[in-house]
Amino acid sequence: RGFCGPHGQPPPLLDPQDIVATWEAISLGRQPVPEYFNFAHDVLDMWSQLEKAGHRPPIPAFWWVNGTGAEVKWNFEQLGQQSRRAANVLRDTCSLQPGDRMMLVLPRLPEWWLVSVACIRTGVVMIPGVSQLTEKDLKYRLQASRAKSIITSDSLAPRVDAISADCPSLQTKLLVSDSSRPGWMNFRELLREASTEHNCVRTKSQDPLAIYFTSGTTGAPKMVEHSQASYGLGFVASGRHWVDLTKSDIFWNTSDTGWVKAAWTLFSAWPNGSCIFVHELPRVDAKVILNTLSSFPITTLCCVPTIFRLLVQEDLTRYQFQSLRHCLTGGEALNPDVREKWKSQVGLELHEGYGQSETVVICANSKGMKIKSGSMGKASPPYDVQIVDDEGNILSPGEEGNVAVRVRPARPFCFFSCYLDNPEKTEASERGDFYITGDRAHKDKDGYFWFMGRNDDVINSSSYRIGPVEVESALAEHPAVLEAAVVSSPDPIRGEVVKAFIVLSPTYSSQDPEKLTRELQEHVKRVTAPYKYPRKVTFVSELPKTVSGKIQRSKLRSQEWGETRGSPRK
Ligand code: ATP
Ligand code: MG
C-alpha cells in the first residue's frame, strides 16, 4: 500500500484538513513515516482530487510571470498533466531509470518546477544547480554526481558543451528553448508531443529524492543527499507554522532555483495546498520586487536578508502591497536594523528561520511567537536542537557552543542521508549524540537561539570571542552603512583584531574616509560592547558573495592572513 491509497489508483477522497493534519503529524515526528511515500502521487495527485471536489479556492497551484507580460497559471490538475508529460520525456526519451541522477540548471522558468515533479514521478534523483555556474563548476558537479542527464537553458548550454566530453556519465542533454542546438534535445517540443498518461513509480520513503551541492561558503561544495520523505514530508509543519501557509495563500520566494530554498518552498507550499508564485527576475531589482508585490495578490514573501537590505533602502511607504500579510527570511543572519525598518514602513514582522542544505528548518520564528530581535527563533520540531561542546555535551543556557541537532538514539527522518561518497565527512559531522552544524550560537533560558557565526568566522581577540554578525549588525545601524562584513585580521599584540569591510550608502561615499572610520568605530562602541569595535576598517564597493547572496567572509579572511599562512583556526 502507498501512503494515501493503493498505488496506481486514485487515492481515496478525504477531508483536506484531515489529510494535511496527517502529513503535519508525520512532519512533527508524532506519527511514523510510511514505508512508501511519493510526493507526486501522495501529495500532488491528492490535491488534484481535492481541487476537483471543490475543496480549494479557485487560485492556481503554480503562477509564473516574467514581468513583461508572459504568464503561466496551472491548477493542480494541469500541473499533474504537464508533469506527467515531463515524466514520460525523462523515462522514454532520456531512458532515465529510478535512482538515475539528473542535473537541473535553469533560471526561474516553469520547466524547473515541472521537471522537479517529473523526477519524483520517475524516481530520478534531482540535482539542482544555480545558473551562474561556470564551466569548471559544471564539470565538478557532473563528474562528482555522475549525472546521466542535464536540463538547462540557452545561456548555459555552451558551457555544458565545453566540458561534456570530460563527463562520461552524461548521456542526454535537454534544452529549454524555443530554438534548437546540435547535440541537444528540445524539451519544449518533446513536452508538447508527450502523453499525459504516466504511472508514478513506487518509491520507498528512504529512497533518494535530491542531491544538493552546499553553497560553498566555506570551501568546495559538498554533496548532500535527501530522501523522498526527508524533503517530501519534512517541510509540512514548518510550512504551516513558520511560513503560515494555507490553501488560500500565494507564496513568493525569490530564491534561485538552484538553492535549497526553492525546494523548501515547493515542499512547504504544495502539501498545504498553497500557490507557488514565481517571477522570472533575471536580475535582482528592488523596484521590480516592490512593484510585483503591489500588482499581484501575493500573501507571503520570502527573501534572503541581502534582498531585504536592498528593499529597505527604497521609500517603502510609496508602495501599496495588495495582499501581503506574512514575511520571512533566512539563509544568513538578519540584521535587527533591517527588520525594524521593514516593520516600521510595511507594518509587517520579518520572521527569520535558520537551516542548512543538510537539514530542514532547524530554528524559526513561527507566526504568532514573540520575536526577540536578533534571535533566529526557537528549535523547530521534530528537531531536538542544543548547544553542545566539541565532545557533544549539552551546555547551559547562555553558554556559547556548537549548534547541534540530536541524531541518536534516532536520526530524524527529515535530515540528510549522508554526504555522498564521503563517509569520513558524514562521520566527522557527528559528536556524541549530535550532528554538528558548524555554526556557533547560544540559547537563552527561554529557548531562543542567538547566532554568533560560522565556526571559522568567530574572532578571537585578546581572548574575547567575537561573533561577526553582532558587529556587522551594529555597523548596519549607522546610516552610512549599506552592508558590512567583519573578519579577523592579524595583529602583533592581540593576535587577531576585528576588521570591517564596509559598503557605503551612495550618499556617504564622498566623505572623508578617516573621519568616517572614527565615527563608525565610536558608533559600534556605543551600540554594543566596546571591545567588539573594528580596529581596522576598509571601504569597498562590494562584498564577496556566493551566488545565493551569502557573504563569503572566508575569502576576506584569507586576504587578510595571506593564502599560505592561513588564518589561525585553519
Ligand atoms: P558550505 O557548507 O559549502 O560552506 P553553506 O553552509 O553556506 O555552504 P547552505 O547549506 O546553503 O550552505 O547554508 C547553510 C548555512 O547558512 C548555515 O549553516 C548558516 O551558517 C547559514 N544560515 C542559514 N540561515 C541562517 C540564519 N537565519 N542566520 C544565520 N546564518 C544562517
Ligand atoms: Mg554548510
Taking the mean position of all CA atoms in its chain, how far away is CA 251? 15
Q: How far is the CA of 298 from the centre of ligand 2 (A)?
A: 31
Q: How far is the CA of 224 from the centre of ligand 2 (A)?
A: 10
Q: How far is the CA of 418 from the centre of ligand 2 (A)?
A: 13
Instruction: Report the atom number in ligand 1 closest to the C-alpha of 358.
Output: 10
Render pLDDT for 378-402 as a digit per residue (tens, 0 to 9).
999 999 999 999 999 999 999 999 9
Residue 476 has pLDDT above 80, yes or no: yes
Q: 566 pLDDT band (50/70/90 cuts)?
A: very low
- Residue 217 Cβ inside 6 Å of ligand 1? The answer reads yes
In this prediction, residue 370 carries a pLDDT of 97
In this prediction, residue 392 carries a pLDDT of 97
Q: How far is the CA of 330 from the centre of ligand 1 (A)?
A: 9
- Select from 223, 268, 218 the least CA-distant residue to 127: 223
- Residue 552 Cβ inside 6 Å of ligand 1? The answer reads no
- Residue 545 Cβ inside 6 Å of ligand 1? The answer reads no
Q: How far is CA 326 from CA 62, 179, 264, 297, 548, in A?
A: 19, 40, 17, 12, 22
* Most ligand 1 atoms within 8 A of CB, residue of 350, 550, 554, 558 to mutate: 550
- Residue 437 Cβ inside 6 Å of ligand 1? The answer reads yes
Which position has the grid cell 497551484?
A: 61
Amino acid identity, residue 9? Answer: Q
- Residue 473 Cβ inside 6 Å of ligand 1? The answer reads no
Q: 568 pLDDT band (50/70/90 cuts)?
A: very low
In this prediction, residue 2 carries a pLDDT of 40
Q: 1 pLDDT band (50/70/90 cuts)?
A: very low
> Mean pLDDT of all residues in the chain?
94
Surrounding ion ligand 2 within 5 Å at CB are: 214
Share of the chain above pLDDT 90, in %: 88
Determine how many CB atoms are found less than 10 A away from the CB of residue 385: 23
- The mean pLDDT of 122-142, rounded to a whole number, is 95
What are the cell numbers at 420?
555522498
User: Looking at the CA of 355, which ligand is closest?
Assistant: 1
Q: 12 pLDDT band (50/70/90 cuts)?
A: low
Q: How far is the CA of 222 from the centre of ligand 2 (A)?
A: 8
- Select from 255, 257, 436 the least CA-distant residue to 359: 436
- Select from 299, 350, 290 the least CA-distant residue to 319: 290
- Residue 472 Cβ inside 6 Å of ligand 1? The answer reads no
Render pLDDT for 176-206 as a digit per residue (tens, 0 to 9).
999 999 999 999 999 999 999 999 999 999 9
Q: CA 255 to CA 258: how far, in whole Å?
A: 8
- Residue 271 Cβ inside 6 Å of ligand 1? The answer reads no
- Residue 455 Cβ inside 6 Å of ligand 1? The answer reads no
Render pLDDT for 424-470 as a digit per residue (tens, 0 to 9).
999 999 999 999 999 999 999 999 999 999 999 999 888 889 999 99
Q: How far is the CA of 546 from the centre of ligand 2 (A)?
A: 12
Q: 564 pLDDT band (50/70/90 cuts)?
A: very low
- Select from 408, 402, 405 the least CA-distant residue to 381: 405
Q: How far is CA 65 from CA 57, 71, 273, 325, 356, in A?
A: 20, 4, 20, 21, 29
* Most ligand 1 atoms within 8 A of CB, residue of 215, 352, 375 to mutate: 215
Residue 7 has pLDDT above 60, yes or no: no
Residue 4 has pLDDT above 70, yes or no: no
Q: 11 pLDDT band (50/70/90 cuts)?
A: low
Neighbouring C-alpha atoms within 13 Å toward the C-beta of 294: 12
Q: Are 3 and 32 in contact (CB under 8 A)?
A: no
Q: CA 334 to CA 357: how far, in whole Å?
A: 18
**Cα Rg for the chain, rounded, in angstroms?**
24
Q: How far is the CA of 191 from the centre of ligand 2 (A)?
A: 36
Share of the chain above pLDDT 70, in %: 96
Q: Supply φ then ψ for residue 245, to 5 degrees.
A: -90, 140
- Residue 376 Cβ inside 6 Å of ligand 1? The answer reads yes
Residue 569 has pLDDT above 60, yes or no: no
In this prediction, residue 562 carries a pLDDT of 87
Q: How far is the CA of 278 from the centre of ligand 1 (A)?
A: 23
- The mean pLDDT of 476-485, rounded to a whole number, is 95
Contacts of 491 (CB under 8 A, 6+ apart): 461, 497, 535
- The mean pLDDT of 472-492, rounded to a whole number, is 95
What are the cell numbers at 16?
483536506
Q: How far is the CA of 202 from the centre of ligand 1 (A)?
A: 33
Residue 18 has pLDDT above 70, yes or no: yes
Q: Are 335 and 310 in contact (CB under 8 A)?
A: no
User: Looking at the CA of 437, which ligand is closest?
Assistant: 1
Determine how many CB atoms are found less than 10 A away from the CB of residue 311: 22
Atom 23 in ligand 1: which residue has the minimum CA distance?
331
Render pLDDT for 522-563 as a digit per residue (tens, 0 to 9).
999 999 989 999 999 999 999 999 877 889 999 999 999 985
Handedness of CA 529, 457, 361, 293 (dihedral sign): positive
Length of the chain: 570
Least confident window among 13-17, 237-241, 283-287: 13-17
Q: 570 pLDDT band (50/70/90 cuts)?
A: very low
DSSP string, 183-196: T-EEHHHHHHHS-S
